[in-house]
Each structure stands twice: as structure tokens, then as C-alpha cells.
Structure 1
Amino acid sequence: MSPVFTLSLHSIANRRLSVLLTVIAVALSVALLLGVERLRNDAKAGFAQTLSGTDLVVGARSGPVQLLLYAVFHLGSATNNMSWASIEHLAALPQVQWLVPISLGDSHRGHRVVGSTADFFAHYRHGDRRPLRFAQGRPFEDKPAEAAGIFEVVLGAEVAARFGYALGQRIVLSHGSLGGEGGPRFADHADKPFTVVGILARSGTPVDRALLVSLEGIEAIHVDWHGGAPIPGLRIAPEHVRKFDLQPKSVTAALVGLKSRTAVFRVQRQINTYPDEALTAILPGATLQALWSLVGIAEKALLAVSALVVAVGLAGMVAVVVASLGERRRELAILRALGARPRQVFALLAVESLLLALAGIALGLVLLYGAGAAFAPWLSSAHGLQLSLGWPGVGEWRLLGAVLAVSLLASLVPALRAYRYSLADGMTIRV
């Protein structure tokens, strides 16, 4: 072990309290920087995997991002609906393996109601092609024989947890999607309540915040409505809705799975040029990436703030070392008197600062993995965010390398000051 390194260790041990506080400050800043980077990457991966296994999302003619927002994330409103005839035409295409229609427009206490078929539970995939799982209950019935079976609802995990709903409970849907909890609503379908038959497990997707009902259920609550408003003086009881034609005339969008992914561009072109109706078909993966690029400025700003925190931590480390030089002038002068060269004094201070930075980085990694292990189950259950606890990735190693490089540069400040102290300055008694 070199004398400079040995002297650095002894000097650090002699100032252990101030050194410990400095290392903790650097460690917290490094843990924050790496934590933000890991959350950013994991959130991006989860965002990109909101919908997997679906080859195309189809809706009325609109922009790709807008179609993705309302069809997958249930944000905003559709420019128009697509006719049921178009749904039947798409389902009959030889390249199409399955099709799941989606109908939006109603809500419950600020949460979207999604009308679909039981195929939604069979074909909706997220993450690494993971299916939706039921925490309790079962899916709603598709084309039930009894009228009561039409009014069944499956709740997303967040809806059930937020309002404390349980199986068998009856809830009322609201027309329109403008009203949050306690906010304004156009009208309630109080005469046709739905019964909770299933509660989904958390998936980390917009499904957690939705209520799923059958397309027939959507039609049934509107049989005594016309033009988006209830018909005055007309009220059809729930037990009589089976007498009416409950096949929808139009839906909001459709999720499409193909028999071969090689046909995706050909089918997309067929849909986009469909002569009977103006439709748009998008590739969800490519559109998700485009959407992330739009909202990615926030993650970059957060990463920049974390980098500034690291800079502040390193500046504090430099300040502590520089402040200690006033007390160590005599020590450094004695080293010079014993034969230490200026470059060795320079190396002594540089090594000390670098050791503090390395200790801070190591402790920061320990804090990161400790916090990750502690909060990963909560993030998964409460927010559906799957936090990775593996070995640092390439991007994280680059950040650590950058922190180490900046630490090395920062260590030059006290080292240069020590280098410039002369033997006479150190041995002079100041009064």
C-alpha cells in the first residue's frame, strides 16, 4: 500500500465525523440520481407494455396518439364512433384472428365505464403478454339468457379499493364521462343498477381504473334514451330490456389480433383505405413510443434536478475538504519538511476526495437497493409499477462513471490549494 494512500486513510479516520456526514450527503444524492433513473426506465417499460399482444387498434378517423389515448388509456373523447357493420367487416377479414370491440361514453364517480365482450378478458394482454387476473369473482356474462345477467360489472382493482366495493354490491352508472367524484354529471342511470360480479387484480394498466360491462349492458341502459338524452315520460324496467334489440349500432374502437404479424402493415393499409367508413388503424407499440416522446420532457427535467442534487452533494464534499485545509496547514507543512514533494501533497488531497466520493457512491447503491427492496411490493400493489432490483444497467453505470469523473475533477480544487501552500506559509505562526 502506497504511503499516500495510507496517509489518506489515517487523515480520513482522524476526521471521521465530518467525513461521515459528507459521505452520507453524497450517498443520498447518488441514490436519488440512480433511483430516478431506475424509476424512469421502469415506468417507460411499463408504459410501453400497457398493451401487448394486440397488433392493431382501430377507431374512427383521427390522429394516432388521440386514438391511442381514448381507446387504451381512456383519456379524452373519440371524434366519432365506428359502425357495427365495420366491426363485422373487420372481424371477417381472413388475416384477423380475434377482435374485441370497445364502447366508451359512460362513467362512475369519475372512472370510465368500458363496454366490451367477454373476449376482452381472454385477449387483453399487458407487460410480457400477461393476461388479466381476477382477484375475486368472474367475468360478466356474454349474451346472458336472463335480463339480470345483462347488468353485471367487473371492477378494476383501483376502483374497488378506492370505493370499498365488494362482490354482489350494486352500483349506478352515469351518462357521460365529465363528472368526477362529486362533480357534475349529465344524468344517472339509477333505474338500472349493475351488480359487481368480479374484481380484477392490479395490472398497472388503465384497466385498474375502469369498470367493465358488456356491450349489451351499455345498450340496455340507453333503451329509453334518444339522441343522448332520456325520453320524457318513458321508463323501461330492467326486466323488460331483453325484449329489445341490444346489438350496438356503433362502438368507439376495437382491439385487433392477427394470425400473422407479417400481415400487419397490409391489414393496416386495408383499414385506413376502407371505402365504406373513414377509419384509422394504428400499431400500438409504435404509437406508444411516439406518445412517450411527447411526455418524456418531464422525466428529463426530473433527471436534471437529480443531477443538480448530486452536484450539490459533491460541492459540499469539496467545501468540507477545503475548509479543513486551514486546520491542516501545519500538518501539510510538516510533511513538506519531512521530504514530501508538492505533487505528493497534491496526490494526498486528491486521493482523500476521491475516497470520499467512492464511499458515497457505494453507500448510495446500498441505499438504492435497500429502498427498492422495501418499497417494490408497495409500488407494485398500489401503483402497478414493477420496480427492477437487478444489477445496474448500462445507463446507470454511465451515470456512476459520470459521478466519479466529476468527483475526480472536484478533488482537484482542494488538491491544487494544498499544492500551492508553501513550507513557510505552513510554519508561520499567525496572530
Structure 2
Amino acid sequence: MNLLFIAWRNFRYRALSSFLTTLSLMLGVGLVVMVMAIYGIISEAFVRNAAVGYNLVVGPRGSALQLTLNSVYYLSQPIENLPYTEYMEFFPAEERAKMVREFGGDPKLGERDGVYAGFVGDGYAIPLALGDYFGEFRVVGTIPDFFEKLRHGPEVDQPFTFREGRALETYNEENQYFECVLGSRVAAQSGMKVGDVMNPTHGDPEGKGHGQGFTVVGILAPTGTPNDRAVFVNLEGFYLLEGHAKPIEDDAVITLPERDPDDTRPPLLMIPEREVTSILVRNGNIMHAPGMQNRINESGRAQAAAPIGEINKLMSVIVGPLLSALLVITLITCVVAAFGVLVAIYNSMNDRRRDIAVMRALGARRGSVTWVILFESLIIAIIGGAAGWLLAHVAIYSAGTFIEQQTGVQVGLFSVSQFEWLLLPFVLVLSLMAGIVPAMAAYRTDVGSNLSA
């Protein structure tokens, strides 16, 4: 009779014990697979969300990681703010002079190129103003270039698209400067649609509400980036909210903005009253990025952080070790389950000593009896490992919609993480090692004493 068939009959004969042992191994393997999958999802989400098209984030001096989390992921709190004049340093003299004419300020600002204008070239500098909330979501003051020039996706080549409506406009006669665009998650959770009015709160989700609301003019299609959970408002409207104007110093040199007497638009904040939280910068020539980063960091006024570099540090220093520790714990669970295999088979040896003696009396060799026990251990490992792997992938696939909404990572039923293919051989080796002790007990079974018992 085939040894594997005998092992299978032994497995079925002790159905309850075999089921419980296999179940413990299945749960251990399932836990390991899920931890590996979570590790892969988190790593991919952080990396792809840091690849956003721009190569530097400029903000107040302090923690570069906090600046990245705040400006790229809309997490943490702003360090401080930068004066608007620091944002102007990324533009040539012509554009700086236009800003002075439009907003008002020191005329000398328009007489020279910005310090970093030569580094930017054909790239862009997009300001962000943070500090307000809509429920749990961050309100981001920015300009229309945010939606026109930024890209997203694994290859950073996908433009923003709108599920409904349109992007922000510099000025709209109907809504003036008070327009906003909702990220896909914000729209889904709030139930708001185009035409509704969004009222932000100041400084905190439970803070004081601003009297002025913003009309929703667009809802972004899902991007799988932190932009899905943000509300974007016209930067000029953000400045006009109560408490957002910086006090003008007494000795400030100011030229009032040039205005047409027939202009019905509300007056905008002047340059000395403006601040930005951070600036998203892309160099026209990527080779200029290190030079500009060093120049900004040496200025003493601001700092420049490379988002991808900061996220890699976060993964290697904090997130990676935590997930590795969790993976070690789940692997220990597999080892404990393997000891369960050993105990279950070893405890059954007293019940089958006579069976083994009969097999030996009928001509079975010691090696054959040993392999029957090892095959039984392998059957438990194969069934438990395969069932645990499948169970974990079904669970992950069932949560696929939620995972994609939260991280932008698409998960298939058979999406395999980097080292997952090593798990089944590991479980088989563990089970073989666990089967050695009961197999040796079977090998040493005395035929005469057990037949006469």
C-alpha cells in the first residue's frame, strides 16, 4: 500500500485532532501572509504618494519630515509660515513686478529676479496655505496651477481628472474668489456635490467656523493619493478669511495695488499681509535640484526637503522596523503552530503503537514507518499552509475597495508580496522538523512487546 495513502488515512482517522492542528497552522500562515501584504501595501502607498511630480517642498526651518508629512500627506501640523516674499523668490523680475502691481507692496521687489528663479526655469512653484479644516479633512489654499501642472500615479504622468465639475479659477464672476474642489473621499463621506457650500473651521476640526463659505465647483476623480482627502480652495479666498491676514509692520514700505475704478472685485491682501505654509517646486532641469536645495537650506530663512528621500527615511527608520517586528511575531506564531503539529502527532503515538507493530510484522521496514509519520506531518503543513494563504488573500481581496480608497493601491486576489513565495517552503520545513520526533518514536517501536500487549 502507498505510504502517502496510509498517512492520509491516519490523518482522516483522527479527524478532530487533525482539523484542530491544521487550523492552528492555517491561522499562523494567514497572519504571516496578511502582515506581508500590509507591509507591501504600506510601502507602495508611501512611495507612490511621494512621487508627485515636484521634487522639492520648501517651508519654514524645522523638521524636514514634518514638512513633508504636512505638505505632501496633509498630516501633522504646519511648523510655521513663510512670508509671501519667500514665494516670490522663485520668479523672475517681470512676474514679481506683476505681483506688486496686482497686490501692492514694496516696489523694489519687482526690480530684480528672485534668488531661486534661475533654478526653477521651465518648472513651477506652487504655494500651499494650510491651517483650516472641513470636518476631519484639511483645507488647502492653492492656485489653479495645482491641478494643471501637478501629476500623479505610479509613473507620475496622470493629470487630475474630475468626476464632476471643474478646477479652480483665478477669479469667477459668480463665486468671486470663494470656490473649492473636493477630493473624492471628502465628497463620498460628506455627501456634498457641485453647487453646495463648504464652510471651513479655523485651525482645528472643532474650531471656530468662518462666516464665509466656498462654493463647490468640482469633485476630483479618485487618485489614490492624499489629495483624495483634502479640500482645495482658491488661495485668494483663503487669504480673505477672518484671521488669515498677517499684521503689517509699521515700517513696511507699501505701494497700493493698481485698481480699475470700475473693478467690482473685493480688494485682495497686500504682499506684506500674505503668508504661505509651503511651496511645491519642480526644477525645469532636475540637475539643478541639489544646488537649489543647498541654496535654500543655507539661506537661514527656509528649508527644502526632497519628499521621496524623507519618506524613504521614514520607512527605513520607523515604519520598516515596526512592520519587521510584527512579521517576526507572526513567524513565531507559525513556529508555535509547528510545535502543535509535533505535540498532536506525538500524543497519538501511544494509540498507534500496535498498528505500527502490525505493519512491521507484515514486512514494513523501519524507514517506511518513519516516512508515514513524516508524510502525515507534511499533509498537515500543505493543507494548513495552502488554506491559510488562500484565506488571507480572500480577506485582503474582500477589503480591496477600502484599501484602494485609503492608499490608492489596487489589490488582486492573487497579488503576491515580495517574499511570500518563501512562506510555504518555510512551513514545510518546520512541519518536517516537527514530525522528526514522533517519527523517531515510530522508528524505535518494539514489535514484540506491542504485539503481545
* TM-score between both structures, scaled by the size of structure 2: 0.81
Which residue number in structure 1 is paired with residue 142 of structure 2? 116
Structure 1 residues 224 and 116 mapped into 2: Cα distance closer, same or farther (>3 Å)? closer
Q: Give the 3-state SS of the residue equivalent to 2:124 in structure 1.
A: strand
SS in 2 for 1:189: coil
Report the CA distance between 1:226 and its aligned residue: 6.1
Count of residues paired in the alignment: 408
- Corresponding residue for residue 231 of structure 1: none
Residue by residue, what CA displacement relative to the aligned partner does 1:1-51 show, whole Å, maximum 9, x if unpaired? x94334323433444554345434423321221122012112211111113
1:79 aligns with 2:79: yes
Q: Is the 8 A contact 1:116 1:213 kept in 2?
A: yes
Q: Give the partner amino acid of 2:239.
A: E
Residue of structure 1 aligned with 2:131, choices 80, 92, 105: 105
For the Cα contact (< 8 Å) 2:40–2:417, is it kept in 1? no
What residue number does 1:70 align with? 70
Q: Which residue of 1 aligns with 2:101?
A: none
The code of the aligned residue for 1:257 comes to R
DSSP-derived class of the 2:130 partner:
strand
Residue 50 of structure 2 aligns to a residue whose secondary structure is coil
Q: In structure 2, what is the equivalent of residue 149 of structure 1?
A: 176
Is residue 216–residue 246 contact of structure 1 (8 Å, CA) maintained in 2? Answer: no
Pair 1:289–1:146, CA change in 2 (3 A): same
When the two structures are superposed, what TM-score results if normalisation uses the length of structure 1? 0.85
Question: Which whole-Å deviations, capped at 9, do the CAs of 1:340-394 have from their partners, x for residues lacking one?
Answer: 3333322221121012212222233333443344332342236544325556354
Q: Which residue of 1 aligns with 2:8?
A: 9
Match of residue 305, structure 1, among 326, 329, 335 = 329
**Amino acid in structure 1 at the alignment position of 2:411:** L
Q: Which amino acid aligns with 1:81?
A: N
Shift of 1:428: 4.3
Structure 1 pair 58–224 and aligned structure 2 pair: CA distance change class (3 A): closer
Stretches of structure 2 that go unaligned for 5 or more consecutive residues are 93-116, 249-262
Output aligned runs, 1:15-94, within 5 Å: 15-16=14-15, 18-52=17-51, 53-92=53-92, 93-94=117-118
Distance 2:373 2:418 in 1: 31
Amino acid at match of 1:349: I
> Do the aligned residues in 1 keep the contact of 2:178 with 2:215 (CA within 8 Å)?
yes
For residues 141 and 351 of structure 1, the distance between their equivalents in structure 2, rounded to whole angstroms, comes to 71
Alignment of 1:115-264 (within 5 A): 115-128=141-154, 129=156, 130-142=158-170, 144-146=171-173, 148-176=175-203, 178=204, 180=205, 183=206, 185=207, 187-190=208-211, 192-222=212-242, 242-245=266-269, 249-264=274-289
Matches of 1:246 and 1:106, distance apart in 2: 21
Compute the displacement of 1:255 (Å).
1.0
Gaps of 5+ in 1: 229-238
For 1:194 and 1:302, how far apart are their aligned partners in 2? 44
Identity score, percent: 32
Letter in 1 for 2:343: A
Cα root mean square deviation, aligned: 2.7
- In structure 1, distance between residues paired with 2:270 and 2:184: 28
Paired residue for 2:304? 281
| CA distance in 1 between partners of 2:63 and 2:244 (Å) | 33
Q: Is 1:315 aligned to residue 314 of structure 2? A: no
Which residue, out of 310, 319, 334, partners 2:358? 334
Q: Distance in 1 between matches of 2:179 and 2:244?
A: 19
Contact 1:202 1:208 in 2 (8 A): yes
Seen in structure 2, the aligned counterparts of structure 1 residues 271 and 163 have a Cα distance that, compared at 3 Å, is same
* Number of the residue aligned with 1:267: 292
- Return the alpha-carbon distance in structure 1 between the equivalents of residues 59 and 244 of structure 2: 27
Query: In structure 1, what residue type is equivalent to 2:135?
Result: R
